[in-house]
């Protein structure tokens, strides 16, 4: 069953959907969208995947972060620290429910970094994690804004207003640090023609993780802009979460 869902935070209300299978207890996959994304996912992938997992007895929680989609605040109010705090609230909310047996995480791009940082904070609470093209290079990617993009109170990033607080927060972080704190099941997918998070970055972050399962999506872009690519990503993720061998 797909139900509208709200979580109250200090800054406002997060809004999204909670998919629950028809059984008394079940694991839940919490989905984190990327920078400028929303809870439906690229090509509506989160919606489709959530409905597929529900049929296999796995719930999902997919929310818009504050400042995004239908949640409170404006995009210019968003910071990485704020999104990580919201992610923690989602996790704590699911952990507080007796019907939830296990926690899985899925994150795309910056959402993948949010998932990874959350896994460092709760390494024993998260049973499985899947990352789609995680943007661990965010500090170097966002650095171009300094001195290169006209700014006033906010940076103009392709029409999105980004705060100085967001940029300063990102530039102060090292997302490659302590990746091996999380030691449970992990799968990472990355398109070989990703121009937003260059594929070569995978060589660096894979060295930091403990025993990751990695799949190259041949010729795929960052948002998996071809039907065959997004279908492959959804299917691999689905098989990973339902405990089915990828090679079956």
Q: At 136, give phi and psi (nearest 5°).
A: -70, -15
Q: Which of 6, 11, 26, 193 is nearest to 99 (CA)?
A: 26
Residue 151, pLDDT > 70, answer no
**Is residue 36 a contact partner of residue 78, using CB atoms and an 8 Å limit?**
no
Q: Any long-range contacts for 90-95 (C-beta under 8 Å, 24+ apart)?
A: 90/7, 90/14, 90/30, 90/61, 90/63, 91/30, 91/118, 91/122, 91/125, 93/7, 93/61, 94/28, 94/30, 94/61, 95/125
Domains of the chain: residue spans and CATH: 2-241 (3.40.50.1820)
Average pLDDT along the chain? 95
Cβ atoms within 10 Å of 227's Cβ, excluding its own: 9
173, HSE (Cβ side, Cα atoms, 13 Å): 23
pLDDT in tens, 96-136: 999 999 999 999 999 999 999 999 999 999 999 999 999 99
Helices 80-95, 110-121: crossing angle, 10 deg rounding: 60
pTM for the full model? 0.95
């Amino acid at each position: 069953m797909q139900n509208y869902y709200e979580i109250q935070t200090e800054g406002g209300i997060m809004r999204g959907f909670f998919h629950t299978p028809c059984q008394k207890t079940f694991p839940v996959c919490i989905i984190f969208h990327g920078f400028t994304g929303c809870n439906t996912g690229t090509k509506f992938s989160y919606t489709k995947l959530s409905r597929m997992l529900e049929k296999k007895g796995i719930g999902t929680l997919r929310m818009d972060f504050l400042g995004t989609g239908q949640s409170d605040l404006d995009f210019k109010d968003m910071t990485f620290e704020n999104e990580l705090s919201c992610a923690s609230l989602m996790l704590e909310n699911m952990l507080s429910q007796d019907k939830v047996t296990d926690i899985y995480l899925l994150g795309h791009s910056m959402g993948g970094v949010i998932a990874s940082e959350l896994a460092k904070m709760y390494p024993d609470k998260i049973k499985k994690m899947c990352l789609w093209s995680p943007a661990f290079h965010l500090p170097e990617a966002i650095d171009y804004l300094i001195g290169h993009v006209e700014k006033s109170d906010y940076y103009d990033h392709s029409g999105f207003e980004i705060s100085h607080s967001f940029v300063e927060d990102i530039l102060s972080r090292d997302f490659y640090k302590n990746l091996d704190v999380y030691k449970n099941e992990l799968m990472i997918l990355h398109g070989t023609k990703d121009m937003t998070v260059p594929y070569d970055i995978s060589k660096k972050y894979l060295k930091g993780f403990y025993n990751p399962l990695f799949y190259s999506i041949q010729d795929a872009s960052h948002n998996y802009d071809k039907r065959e690519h997004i279908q492959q990503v959804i299917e691999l993720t689905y098989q990973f979460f339902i405990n089915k061998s990828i090679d079956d």
